Every structure is written in C-alpha cells, then in structure tokens.
Chains A and B, each alone.
Chain A
Amino acid sequence: MRRSIAALAVTLILGGFIASAHAASTEADYKAAYAAAEAANAEANKLRNQWTTAVSALAAAKKAAEEGDFDKATAEAKKSEELSKAAIFQTNEQKENWKLLEIR
C-alpha cells in the first residue's frame, strides 16, 4: 500500500504537467525547453539519482533539433524535464520513506 503512494504521486506529477493542445513548436520553444530539461537533469544528477530515461530523452531532443524537427525536440525535452522532476521528487520522498522497507 505505502509503496504505491510514491508511484501515485509520480503519476500525478507526470499527468499534471503534460501540456495540452498547442501550436507547432519553434526553435525558441525548443531552446527554452532544453534549458529547463538540462537544469532539471543537473539537479537530479547532483542528488545522485539521475534517471537513464531522462538522459536519453534529452539526447533525443538534441538530435531531433539538429534534424530541424522542433515539435519532437520540444516534446522530448519536456519529457526529460518531467522525468528529472520525478527523480528529484523520488529522492526527497525517499529521504524518510526508505525506512518503510527496512528490516527491523
């Protein structure tokens, strides 16, 4: 039961931040999204809990931007940011909750 609380919270965060319908993304949109994603990734990395999928989404964003597909690039960058934010949430939540799994 308790172990699903973290999972539920993570799902909420991911669900809450995904953007709804919008116009096509520009290079400026991509650059802003990428910067935000980079910052979130760096924070997660500093906390020693960066997610591999956040890293690959960031790389995919860069690659798509190089190919001129700014819709995909922006979407991947936003995904990377969301994943990193979830990683940060996980780290903070686990600061106390690791004890829930401890053998006592």
Chain B
Amino acid sequence: MTMRKLSGVVLAGLTMAVTLLAVPVVAIAADTPNPPADLKAFQKYFKDKFPKVKFEDFVNGPYSMDEGLYKQWKEKEEFPPYEFALDLGKELMAKPFKNGKTLADCFPNKGIGVRQDYPYFDTKQGKVITLELAVNQCLESNGEQPYSYVKDEMAAVTAYMAYTSRGKVFDVKIPDDPRALAAYENGKRYFYTRRGQLNFSCATCHVQSPGERIRAEVLAPALGILNAMPIYRSEWSGMGTTSRRFTTCNSQVRGVPLKPQDEEYRDLEYYLSYVSNGLPISGPGARP
C-alpha cells in the first residue's frame, strides 16, 4: 500500500473506534420530565451524603463541610466584609433616576424581602427572569444605564435585597407552560454537561466532590449553592454576583464563558434554585 492509502485506513479505523466509543455503554431511557421527582432525589442525595449537616446549613457551602473553616467563618461574620456593599446597595435602591423613579419602585414591596421570589419564569416575556436581569430591565426601562452584571453596583443592590430576605425560603414554581419546563430541563442539562478542556461539569465538583478539595479550596455542595449569593469572595478581594461565578467557573475549566445572563445561565439558575426549594436565603455571603 502507498503511504496515503495506509494513513487512510488508519484514519478510518480511528474514526470507527471513536464512533464506537461515542455510543453510551448503557442505553439511557428517554425520560418524561418530572421536576418534583428531581427535587426529591437531589435533596435526598445530599442529605444522605452529609447526614450530620442540618438541612438549613447546606446554604453555608464549604463552611458546613469543614469544621476549621466553619470556625473562621463564624468569627468573620461578626464583622463581615460585605457590609460596605450593603450600605451602597441600600443607597442605590433609593437613589432617584433622572425621571424621578427609583430602583425600589420596580419591585414588589419596594424590593424588601423579595429576593427569594427570583428567578421565576415570566410567561409574558417567555423566559426566566433572574434578580440581576430584573434590576437591569428596571434601569433600562427607566432610561438609565444598566449595571455590569458581575460586580460593583449589581453586587451591592442584590446584596441588599438578599439581606432583607434572610431566612425566607426558596419556593420556585414551574408554571404549566411547556416553555418553563423546557427552561428547567435546559438548566438541568447545562448543570450536568461536561465542558471546557478540563472536561468538568458543574456536577463534577458540586455533586461528586462536595467537602473534598480542589487545590486548596473546599468544594461546596450544589444544594443551596445560590442561597448565599452575591458573595464577598476573598479570592476576588471583593463582591461578585451569580453571573460572576458562572462565567469564572466556565473559564476555570478552560471553556470560553458565555455572556452574563445568557439563556443557559438563567436556566441554570432556575434549575439550581428550584432544587434548593425549602432552603433559606442566607445572602449576601462571604467565601474563601
């Protein structure tokens, strides 16, 4: 055989091998979506894995996974680093726009004690509305410049709103609308899909390895993982929102991040909040 023909055979062999490997070893049945069953299985998985952790303590992420970290965190909570963001957030909620309205006017109850009602599926807009998106939709509809989604003002405002909701539990609903169910399923799929050169999915760290370490960090369980957002993260030397965490997580596994508040991220937040139903808001939080 000529060199060309030989390499052609090798190539074909490789392609065949790759195709064979692409077929899943176990035939996975097509499922009928069942969010309540997902929620039950999800919460049971973590409760079984960490029987000593009180249910409401899952919102403390790595601190409920490691005693030493817990002590340091408790001490830090006496004088938490997110206090400055809280003050700024309160200010921004009340600051009048050019047209005289305020950010608080866009929300039920002036934005006090409503954080746990986000995200929700808006049947009129046909999409998931997160708290961050709602803030910027308010700004834009009032002729103001929207905030950057990842830190600064957005973090301050969502921190303040979270703070006024401390203790209130998630009760995310999936309305009887095929688009809402599709958004939920999309978020779920995103959560478990491997991506980036490091081939990690969100589940790889937060379902398979909570309580274990990745380099020097203790991994948080996925259950309740959004309840403390936004967070003052020592690694960032500052505040960061859910958008910041989703985008940086993508780049950490060597995947080019999507744009903050892109559909996949909002659907992901919808899924993660739904499966954490019953857990209280603990934000804003402080994390290593």
Contacts and interface: CB of A to CB of B under 8 A. Distances in A.
Direct contact of A and B (CB under 8 A): yes
Interface of A: 2-3, 5-10, 12-13, 16, 45, 48-55, 83, 86-87, 89-94, 96-104
Given A50-B255, A90-B194, A94-B194, A7 B21 contact: no
B189 A98 contact: yes
A13 B17 CA distance: 10
Contact of A12 (B18, B192, B204, B258): B18
A16 B12 CA distance: 11
Contact of B204 (A9, A53, A93, A101): A101
Contact of B255 (A2, A52, A100): A52
Nearest to B14: A16
Interface of B: 10-11, 14, 17-18, 21-22, 24-26, 28, 38, 41-42, 45, 188-189, 192-197, 199, 201, 203-204, 207-208, 251, 254-256, 258, 264
A5 B25 contact: yes
A92 to B, nearest CB: 7
A63 B207 CA distance: 41
A9 to B, nearest CB: 5
A55 B18 CA distance: 25
Most buried by B among A12, A53, A102: A102
Nearest to B194: A94
Contacts of A91: 195
Interface residues of A, dominant DSSP: helix
Given A16-B11, A52-B251, A103 B258 contact: no
Contact of B196 (A2, A51, A103): A51
Contacts of B25: 2, 5
Contacts of A102: 188, 192, 203
Contacts of B255: 49-52
B18 to A, nearest CB: 6
Contacts of B199: 6-7, 10, 90
A88 to B, nearest CB: 12
A40 B197 CA distance: 15
Most buried by B among A48, A54, A87: A48
Given A52-B197, A101-B207, A9 B18 contact: yes
Given A51-B196, A102-B192, A103-B45, 16 more contacts: A8-B21, A9-B18, A12-B18, A13-B18, A45-B256, A48-B264, A51-B255, A52-B251, A52-B256, A53-B254, A89-B22, A92-B22, A94-B194, A102-B203, A103-B42, A103-B207
Contacts of B189: 98
Nearest to B27: A96
